Amino acid sequence: MYDFNQVIDRTNTNCVKYDAMDSIYGTNALQPFWIADMDLPTFPGITEAIQKRLTHPIIGYSTYQTNDFFSPIKHWFQTRFDINVLKQDIGYAPTVLFTITEVIRMLTNEFDGIIVNTPSYNAFLTLIEGNKRMVVESPLEWCEDRYEMNFTHFEYLCQMPQNKIFILCNPQNPTGKVFTNKELLKIVEICEKNDVFIIADEIHMDFARKSKHISMAKMMPTYDKILVTTCLGKSFNISGMQHSYFITKDHFVKERLNQQMMTVYGLFGANPLIIQAVKAAYLEGHDYIDALNAHIENNMQIIDDYIHRHLNHTLEFHQPEGTFLAWIDFRKSGFSEIEVFEALKSIGRIAIGEGSIYEMHETTHFRLNAAVPESVLLEGLDRIKLTFETLYKKRNQH
């Protein structure tokens, strides 16, 4: 029904992934597997709804304070995640990162600590530091067959009075960890005991595959110092149309955020095309998300098989529980991060997410965006293979 294997030329659409690659990698001539948007078509219901809206000749200021916006969100959370989200707990904000930044600025002072699981989505680290707060690491540890939080260490961090916020990323970027109900309850218990506010970034919520996504919104009746922030950007591949929404029972935070947007930034209302997208996607996009996840799951299997067949002594990969991101370890190869990242660029001609931007120390990982057609993925894997074969050859010559 949906063709996720068609190769779509995205060049010359002002897309960051292809057309602005040079700002990061110094050239646009690499095969891109870096930034987290998909080379896959959005849900046709969204493009049709937007096109229909555009037949009206006026695109004036628009409000989200309407059931056109609230009802589809309620429907999605009820049907996908079994949660009855109340209208009055939903707010609109320009982006997920904007929301996170503003909550941090509202609830903490300069040099306070913000706890994040590491490896961490790089923008969390940048914006915490950019706002003169301290990144406090709660490292995820690989235990047998999945990433785990060290709760003893996490509790110790939460007990420090200067650490006021925990940013939970679930499903987690870059490891793909999907937090279990038990883990979320434990997080809530520790945060409540120590008065730590939880910001739950659930932007990857529709990509939980190995287990069901449990939203922090489910925990709000027990602890109200939680804000969930999310959007349709990743799930339906519309990140170019900036938008987000949040859910919180902390109405002090909700009202302060709204007031801040109005009186500090002069922001009000919503993008009318987004309201149409929310309606179309959340009322009719169930099959699309299921098909998309099946495609990504298949791609993860392809990566796994390829590595076992061709790169078993070089790379280690565990299929993620969620997200469309593959977190790949090159420790076994014995090469340093500098050698690997340089070679992936100059030999493989491929742009991956260098692990060092997600970690606070030297890395042995890179992140590969697997939301691509199968043929593109296979070409990328061949390029990675060529990279390491060439590195081994050079090493043997010395």
Ligand X SMILES: Cc1ncc(COP(=O)(O)O)c(C=O)c1O
Which residues of this chain interact with ligand X, rule CB under 6 A?
Answer: 36, 95-97, 121, 169, 173, 201, 203, 231, 233, 239, 244
Give least dist CB 175 to ligand X, A. 11
Q: Which of 191, 120, 180, 181 is nearest to 155 (CA)?
A: 191
Q: Which is nearer to ligand X, 96 or 190 (CB)?
A: 96
Give least dist CB 64 to ligand X, A. 16
DSSP state of 172: P
Work out whether strand 244-248 and strand 90-93 pair parallel, antiparallel, or are unpaired: antiparallel
**CA gyration radius, the chain:** 21
Q: Which is nearer to ligand X, 215 or 244 (CB)?
A: 244
Q: Residue 379: how many CA atoms within 13 Å on its side-chain side?
A: 13
Contact between 279 and 72 under an 8 Å Cβ cutoff? The reply is: yes
Degrees to nearest 5, angle at CA 300 with 299 and 306: 85
CA distance 323 to 215: 15
CA distance 196 to 163: 7
Q: Which residues pair with 316 in a beta bridge?
A: 329
Give least dist CB 233 to ligand X, A. 6
CA distance 70 to 150: 37
Q: Which is nearer to ligand X, 106 or 160 (CB)?
A: 106
Give least dist CB 334 to ligand X, A. 30
Q: Which is nearer to ligand X, 121 or 282 (CB)?
A: 121
Q: Which is nearer to ligand X, 97 or 357 (CB)?
A: 97
Give least dist CB 305 to ligand X, A. 26
Q: Which is nearer to ligand X, 187 or 343 (CB)?
A: 187
Give least dist CB 188 to ligand X, A. 20
Return the structure tokens found at 372: 């691509």
Give least dist CB 269 to ligand X, A. 17
Q: Which is nearer to ligand X, 203 or 315 (CB)?
A: 203
What are the CA-CA distances from residue 376 to residues 5, 355, 357 (Å)?
Answer: 9, 22, 24
CA distance 6 to 352: 22
